[in-house]
Chain A
Amino acid sequence: MAGDPTNGCADLDAKYLPPEPTLPQTPTDPTCVLQATHQTTDSNWLPDETNLDTSAINMALGRCPVVKLVANGTNNAFVSGPISMAGVTLWIDAGVTLYASRDPNQYSNEPAGTPSDCGQPGVNDSAACKNFISVNGGASPAIVGDGIIDGQGGEPLIGHDYSWWQLSSALAMIDGSIGNPTLINLSSGVTGFLMYRITLHNSPKFHVKITSTPAGGVTAACTPGAGFIVWGVTILTPSRWLNSQGLLMSPHLSRNTDGIDPGETSFAACGVLAHNTISTGDDHIAIKGGHGVSNIYVAHNHFGTGHGMSIGSETYGGVNGLTVCDLTIDADSRPVGQGASPGDFNGIRVKSDSSRGGLVDNVVFRNVCMRDVNNAILISTAYNPLFSGTLIPNFKSLSFKDIHGVTCMAKQVGVVTLNGFSVLYPAGPITLDNVIVDNLGPLGVEAQFSSVVTGPGPVGFSGYIAGQDVTVTQLPVDNSVAPINCVFPTLPAPQPPAGWLR
């Protein structure tokens, strides 16, 4: 879409995209501007944890409408345990990093003096630790600024020789869930949340769980962005090539580090996620329908490594009204290191299973480019086929228009899966209009229990769409429609140390 700054989303932007947010005014009360107390450098990036800033930050957030963290001479860092805020703005200035403490004792969910599962190896307790930043209700809370929040997920915990990510990886074999802190969690009752321009690194687990709705409640015709806005945010995890112990960091190691998950904790509605850059070790964005998600616009985002632009796997609360436009997903954006698996490079996924399924409807993907992903399009009702239940995934209208999956020298060809659950719960209509996945052959397409409509734009694999209880309706093809031109921007990536070859 050369020359089109909206990359083919002008009509949708006009309908759904609010004006770009702005930074607030610097607080006039000097006690609401906190001066950095720690120093880190490119060669010495582990901050000292002798004196934490937890109390100072929490006290300021308790009485100031805006709290700004700023540098002080060569001091450029804050180190803190759990932070709690409600209805206020946390502003991290450019050049400043807010580090999450590596001390698991800071995150214990147990009363003081009581043993905790937080930070303990082999403990399958997803509620073991507190969140790093908890946004607890209130209108229009915000986390903004050009600074960084670093969860230090790959660094050794205080008093231990292992990291949060190593704790999580140790449970991978049993599909277990470690109770590591979420970097930013919104609890129910939040309205009008804003996250703007901030950079997030190395969360121990999920980066951002969003529960936020419009102040006046959820309505069918809500104002886009009234529920929440995530704009201009950068997530890069891992952010370093090696950790302080010299261990190689990779997206695969940083397990369960979803980028942004609307609806994970409770309802999310009328949200906009725009102009974000995400590269991490799990879903880039996952629309979590366990409670109900509606009217979300995802526009002008660029993804690197990660598990994809996803819906699910929880959909039992329903997902209604998701529009994605102008998205690039580039699996080649950085080296991934040892142990990477195919799941680390996904494209578009709509996933659920019979233990957690529900209605997914009115979903649109438009102008999406992917490079060297494994699952270009995955519609799966058997995300974990082992789980039983009566919450059957019911995937209805899913629209894909102007989608292009490209490969580098045809080495990695994405596959397409279009699976409903059964003849009683077929997926569809799945509409495919100008959807091209380069080099895709018949073995790369799987379909069952689905209703598919192709055209009028060409669908490169339309001849391969077949399977049990699959109906394909082919509209007359307009061969003048060309695959969309894909341009993948250079994304932030950790730089290798001297002597390493990319």
Chain B
Amino acid sequence: MTASKALMTASTNARRTALLVPCLLLAACTTTTEKQDGICTADPTITTDCNGTADGGAPQNLGLTGYSCTGTARPDQGAVYIEGVPQGIICANQIPPTDGGAPASPQNYCCTNATTPCAYDPVAACDPGTYAYQCLDINRPESYNPTIRCGQGVRATNYVDYCCSGTGLPAGCGEQDGLAGCVPGLVGWQCPITGTQHTLPKGQDLMSNKSRADQYYLLCSIPQVAPSGKVDTFCCYPPASVPPGGSCIEDVYVSNCNPLTQFGFACTGPETPEADYPPIVCPNPGTRGTSMEGYPATLYCCNFVNDSH
């Protein structure tokens, strides 16, 4: 059975066991079978639209099939891993999420006919309105499905995780050189606030003439909310990689930290942020609390100390 046939009437009870491998890599994952409602059906009209051109020109053969899905069903839920290789189709949603970020239902998708080395990942943490694929090695989802857009990849051993959308990625952040309040060594950034969620700067937000190698991963201060309530400003720097086993995660929701000048961290292990993120210095012991992902953690407010001089 081909992937497209198997997905023609994609089961609402997705084969969650197939996702167990990536699932185990993520602490927040559960192996509990999640009941899904809805069904996906291939739709020739959507297929025509998927392979059409934006300017109404002659249809191209992009190798896509259109689906209409109700409820929470998706055509790409049947991904499997065979000898460690993701095998799934890649689907671009055609209807933007609601203002609150919730997925539209019913939803239309443009999906690859052929299986790809990417698997839909239902448990990855993505910005509202986006969803994740895990791909093997150098394969970006856009290469297989030209109607999708994906953000910066996050490498996980041989896989790379991407957050994607068929209706455009959420508005990104912008660098603000010379932002008042950033100590030497830190660079200012401004990001939109989505609902109540803070957006953090990513390397993909850099202009093309900026070196992604320099700072494609950024560590940012507690944000300062602009009076409008619509944007945050941050002071950020590109940290060195966290040592293996490091458990401290950047957490912009830690309370009682000073915006711009202090960095929030949530540590689930015994070490402090100073060990994971030099030159971060934490003047006070941590307090017990909950991380922004919802885990018990020790929370810290820390300072960036530019001691390289």
Q: CB within 8 Å of B: which residues of A?
A: 115-117, 120-126, 171, 173-177, 290, 314, 316, 354-356, 380-382, 384-391, 421-424, 448-449, 468-469
Contact = CB atoms under 8 A, between A and B. Distances in A.
B144 to A, nearest CB: 7
A161 B215 CA distance: 27
Contacts of A175: 213, 216
A447 B128 CA distance: 35
A174 B160 contact: no
B204 A389 contact: yes
A387 B154 CA distance: 9
A248 B243 CA distance: 27
Q: What's the interface size class on B, roughly?
A: 35 or more
Given A124-B238, A175-B216, A468-B114, A387 B204 contact: yes
Given A124-B214, A174-B217, A388 B138 contact: no
B151 interface: yes
Contacts of A116: 309
Contacts of B203: 387
Contact of B140 (A290, A314, A354, A468): A354
Interface of A is mostly: loop
A355 B142 contact: no
A382 B139 contact: yes
Contacts of B114: 468
Contacts of A390: 149
Nearest to A116: B309
A177 B144 contact: no
B88 to A, nearest CB: 15
Contact of A391 (B135, B160, B208, B237): B208
The 7 closest A-B pairs by CB, nearest first: A115-B309, A386-B153, A120-B308, A382-B138, A388-B204, A385-B138, A424-B146
Interface in B47-69: 60-63
A125 to B, nearest CB: 7
Interface string B146-164: 1001111111000010100
Contacts of B240: 122, 124, 171, 173-174, 176
Given A387-B152, A389-B208, 9 more contacts: A115-B309, A120-B309, A174-B217, A387-B212, A387-B216, A421-B143, A422-B142, A468-B144, A469-B63
Contacts of A423: 60-63, 146
A122 B308 contact: yes
B62 A424 contact: yes
A120 B152 CA distance: 29
A11 B213 CA distance: 41
A388 B150 contact: yes
B45 interface: no
A173 B241 contact: yes
Given A124-B214, A177-B211, A386-B154, A117 B308 contact: yes
